[in-house]
Amino acid sequence: MQFSAAQITALINGKIEGDANASVSSFGKIEEAQPDQLAFLANPKYEDYLYSTKASVIIINDSLQLRQPVTATLIRVPDPYSAFAALLGTYQEMMQQQLVGVQDPSYISKSASYGQNVFIGAFTYIGENVTIGNNTKIYPNVYLGNNVKVGDNSIIHPGVKVYHDCMIGNNVIIHAGTVIGSDGFGFAPQADGSFQKVPQIGNVVIEDNVEIGANTTIDRATIGSTIIRSGAKLDNLIQIAHNVEIGNSTVVAAQAGISGSTKVGKGVMIGGQVGIVGHINIGDGAKINAQSGVSKSIDAGKAVTGSPAHDYTSTLRSQAISRNLPELEKRIKELEAIVRQLLSEKV
């Protein structure tokens, strides 16, 4: 698929410098790009490659002053990274629009329904009363249980399992191997030391514009719903327990675990390998550093780190003091020696 520099410029509202007819058919990193490829420069430390790259077209910042001539056609924009991301999204959407129809073998219940321009990959199972919106792409080996609802323009990658009664909104992306709606970890201790399973009769609701990474699990609620609010982004290998709520535009990095009934506000940033106990609240805009263990609620806008998690700034001060302890010990010993000398002279 060929695109001219002029076409690309129109798509990202840029300003062109050079040959408007220069064409590209693929993308490349600026340090490796070949003729007929499009690259971008967002990080100043890669600027040297601008003058040696073989890329045909490069997206750069409006304010960048060239140190020497370049051979490529340049497209200037206020934010090259965002412009390049938008361009990749457009390209991916165009490619996905070519996927339409139902591949065999697949099982689609007679009571299920789907909209226009839908793709359903081979070996997919679609249960009773499932509804799938327009332009949604269901890749091979996906399981959609009874009464599942999937909105418009969503993408469900290979091997995803969505249990019964769960709801997925519009423009949602779910990556391979993720499980939505498995039972929450609910067991009632018995007098004899055994555990009785508590039936999990709720569901999972994933709102619009959510992206969920590969091999993430989101448990169904005991009663009610586990909810991922619109715009949230979840990385790979995350565990979301029953009745958790993740707020709008919150991001959670890989290997984090959030225990049951915890409420996470909007715009929260949770680092990798964070562990959060159940039945607490994480306020809007909070930031939790990687590998932190959170055992208490966090106020809105607060940044924490460590295990147990403490205020981020205070923890950094403590760490700085800890690093100076050997020197402090040495000075204390010197002072003790001086005191002993002074006492002996007094005697």
Which residues are catalytic, by number?
Answer: 242
Which DSSP state fits 45? G
**Contact by Cβ (8 Å): 19, 73:** yes
CA distance 238 to 175: 12
Q: Is 317 helix (H, G, I), strand (E, B) or coil?
A: helix
Distance of CA 292 to the CA centre of its chain: 18
Alpha carbon separation from 249 to 48, 98, 263, 274, 298 (Å, rounded): 35, 30, 14, 18, 18
CA distance 242 to 185: 7
The residues pairing with 226 across neighbouring beta strands, listed in sequence order, are 204
Which DSSP state fits 128? T
Q: Is 10 helix (H, G, I), strand (E, B) or coil?
A: helix
Within 10 angstroms of residue 106's Cβ, the number of other Cβ atoms is: 17
CA distance 309 to 224: 30
Helix %, strand %, coil % of the chain (to 5): 20, 30, 50
Q: Residue with structure tokens 């323009």?
A: 153
CA distance 57 to 74: 6
AA letter at 235: D
User: Which residues contact residue 221 at a Cβ distance below 8 angstroms, ignoring those fewer than 6 apart?
Assistant: 184, 200, 202, 203, 204, 242, 243
